[in-house]
């Protein structure tokens, strides 16, 4: 069976350029950009698996080109801001360039195709420099509970060069950035600084009688003399505050310096990854086959309006929406299954399935995508065309909807009535990206004629399948 390597487009919106890279070559460049090459080989193997996972996870479709045409297989450069092409390291590495290239080739080739998955889906493989003793739960950083991003203790990075850091910031800068006002003090107010200036005694006029500085007691007049102050009626206020921090980064996911220390202790890359990411597995990317471009993808198809309670539309010539939806769903199931996808239908016969049950089934399956198939109807028989709806904020559904609309309207001649947001119950209550597709208008003679044609139903399925292939970035 013929296989193809995955080409990834890198979109740089700032410079308006597109760079294409073969996946494994891009992984090499991402590893070089994100981890010191002096690290142990097992740590570098961890990073290659992490970066490959993040590339696969972040591959998106984008509106690019003069006509705004949708294309496949791309990532935003902003997701990997430190990336640059390998050839740009020639001046940096000098005579060692080819030796380093050989090293990174060897490291990445030993992990070729490996990604980190949780419940069979690529994870968001977050990483940071030094965790400072323990990694962090995801919800404590961005509010979202991610089951594989759990806090783990990490004694491995305690001697890392980035373990202890500080930054000096002036009060004026803190006030500006935090939008606060510390207020100003005069020479008669006591400001106790823990372990530095404390036990301050003043007379009734506000002059310093005595104070303790770093554990040593002074009289007010001695401090005046030693520091050359103008009087003993003095106070103090820090001009700069030194912020001390332990570790570097948000602490979520893989601790690179901790992983490097574990590698030096003899731990293997897979063991290190499974330590920092809870409950994950490391799988090989499915071979990108010309015959099975949707291999490994799971899709739920909902043929709406089944049974006597389904409230389906009926065309002037007697075409029933519930039957048509099921026929299109069967055709979709057959087409997508041939392409390697695993398909679940919410019904297989003319029976009524409550919306709540369809949502529950979908949430239990946790598919890559959900489609609910419908037909439209209006009193005005002149209205025709395809409408597609997605739930507000579901950008993945919006992209797929645009791709499906493009395929249906360009190849099947249907009128484009738009890809729009809607508050439909099913789209709201499923926990995955989903689309509500109104294929055509049963009330329109032209749409009705097309929908009565079995070839047209198959062509609808093929158009949706083509959109899925592009959406999942495996078209050639």
From residue 327, give the alpha-carbon distance in Å to each of 179, 336, 396.
62, 14, 26
Which pair of tokens denotes residue 471? 């959406």
CA distance to 87, 331, 386, 408, 413, per residue, from 460 (Å): 46, 9, 11, 7, 11
* 335 shares a domain with 227: no
229 and 330 assigned to the same domain: no
pLDDT tens for each residue of 82-126: 888 999 999 999 999 999 999 999 999 999 999 999 987 889 999
Domain assignment present for residue 436? The answer is yes
Tokens standing for 320?
């029933």
Number of domains in the chain: 3
Cβ–Cβ < 8 Å for 280, 51 = no
Cα→Cα distances 436→325, 421, 429, 433, Å: 12, 10, 13, 11
Residue 330: the pLDDT is 97
Residue 158 lies in a domain: no
Q: What pLDDT, on a 0 to 100 scale, did the predictor assign at position 220?
A: 92
The answer to whether residue 166 sits within a structural domain is: no
Asked whether residue 312 falls in the same domain as residue 423, the answer is yes
Give the Cα separation of 104 and 32 in Å (integer).
8
Assess whether 225 and 335 both reside in one domain.
no
Instruction: Identify the CATH number of the domain in which residue 410 sits.
Output: 3.40.630.40
What's the pLDDT score for residue 474?
A: 39
241 inside domain: no
Residue 2 confidence (pLDDT): 34
**316 and 421 share a domain?**
yes
Q: Is there a single domain that holds both residue 324 and residue 455?
A: yes
Domain assignment present for residue 168? The answer is: no
Give the whole-angstrom CA distance, residue 98 versus residue 100: 5
pLDDT of residue 60: 57
Q: Are residues 83 and 222 in the same domain?
A: no
Q: How many residues does the chain have?
A: 476
The residue ranges of the chain whose pLDDT is under 50 are: 1-4, 61-72, 288, 474-476
Per residue in 25-59, pLDDT (tens digit) is: 999 999 999 999 999 999 999 999 999 999 888 87
Please tell me whether residues 302 and 365 are part of one structural domain: yes
CA 354 to chain centre: 33
In this structure, are 319 and 464 located in the same domain?
Answer: yes
Residue 143 lies in a domain: no
Q: What are 309's two structure tokens? A: 């309670």
Does 291 reside within a domain? no
Q: Which domain holds residue 402?
A: 298-471
β-pair partners for 37: none
Domain boundary among 278, 311, 343: 278
Which two tokens mark 385? 């065309």
Instruction: Note whether 355 and 445 are same-domain residues.
Output: yes
**Is 156 contained in some domain?**
no
Are 361 and 402 members of one domain? yes
Please write the tens of the pLDDT for every residue from 157-191: 988 888 888 888 887 887 888 787 876 666 677 77
Under DSSP, the state recorded for 435 is E
Please give the model's pTM, rounded to 2 decimal places.
0.62
- Domain co-membership, 31 together with 119: yes
Whole-number Cα distances in Å, 434 to 63, 336, 362: 20, 16, 10
């Amino acid at each position: 069976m013929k296989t193809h390597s995955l080409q990834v487009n890198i979109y740089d919106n700032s410079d308006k350029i597109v760079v294409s890279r073969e996946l494994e070559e891009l992984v090499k460049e991402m590893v070089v950009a994100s981890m010191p090459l002096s690290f142990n080989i097992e740590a570098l193997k961890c990073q290659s698996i992490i970066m490959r996972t993040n590339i696969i996870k972040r591959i998106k479709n984008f509106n690019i080109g003069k006509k705004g045409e949708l294309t496949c297989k791309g990532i935003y450069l902003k997701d990997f801001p430190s990336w640059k092409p390998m050839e740009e390291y020639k001046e940096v590495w000098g005579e060692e360039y080819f030796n380093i290239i050989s090293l990174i080739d060897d490291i990445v080739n030993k992990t070729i195709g490996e990604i980190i998955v949780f419940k069979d889906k690529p994870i968001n493989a977050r990483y940071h420099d030094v965790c400072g003793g323990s990694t962090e739960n995801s919800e404590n950083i961005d509010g979202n509970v991610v089951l594989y991003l759990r806090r783990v203790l990490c004694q491995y990075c305690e001697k890392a060069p980035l373990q202890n850091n500080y930054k000096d910031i002036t009060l004026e800068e803190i006030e500006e950035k935090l939008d606060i006002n510390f207020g100003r003090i005069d020479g008669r107010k006591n400001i106790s600084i823990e372990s530095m200036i404390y036990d301050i005694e003043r007379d009734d006029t506000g002059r310093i009688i005595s104070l303790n500085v770093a554990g040593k007691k002074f009289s007010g007049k001695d401090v005046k003399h030693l520091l050359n102050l103008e009087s003993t009626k003095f106070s103090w206020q820090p001009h700069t505050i030194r912020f001390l921090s332990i570790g570097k980064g948000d602490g979520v996911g893989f601790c690179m310096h901790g992983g490097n220390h574990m590698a030096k202790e003899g731990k293997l890359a897979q063991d290190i990854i499974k330590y920092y990411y809870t409950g994950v597995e490391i799988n090989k990317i499915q071979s990108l086959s010309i015959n099975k471009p949707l291999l490994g993808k799971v899709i739920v198809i909902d043929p709406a309006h089944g049974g006597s309670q389904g409230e389906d539309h009926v065309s002037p010539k007697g075409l029933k929406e519930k039957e048509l939806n099921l026929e299109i769903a069967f055709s979709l199931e057959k087409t997508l299954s041939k392409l390697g996808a695993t398909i679940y239908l919410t019904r297989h016969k003319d029976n009524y399935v409550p919306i709540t049950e369809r949502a529950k089934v979908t949430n239990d399956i946790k598919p890559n995508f959900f489609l609910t198939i419908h037909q439209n109807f209006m009193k005005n028989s002149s209205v025709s065309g395809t409408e597609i709806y997605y739930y507000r904020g579901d950008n993945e559904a919006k992209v797929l909807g645009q791709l499906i609309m493009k395929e249906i309207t360009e190849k099947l001649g249907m009128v484009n009535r738009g890809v729009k947001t809607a508050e439909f119950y099913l789209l709201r209550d499923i926990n995955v990206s989903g689309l509500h597709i109104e294929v055509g208008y049963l009330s329109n003679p032209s749409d009705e004629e097309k929908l009565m044609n079995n070839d047209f139903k198959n062509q609808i399925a093929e158009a949706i399948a083509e959109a899925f292939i592009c959406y999942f970035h495996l078209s050639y």
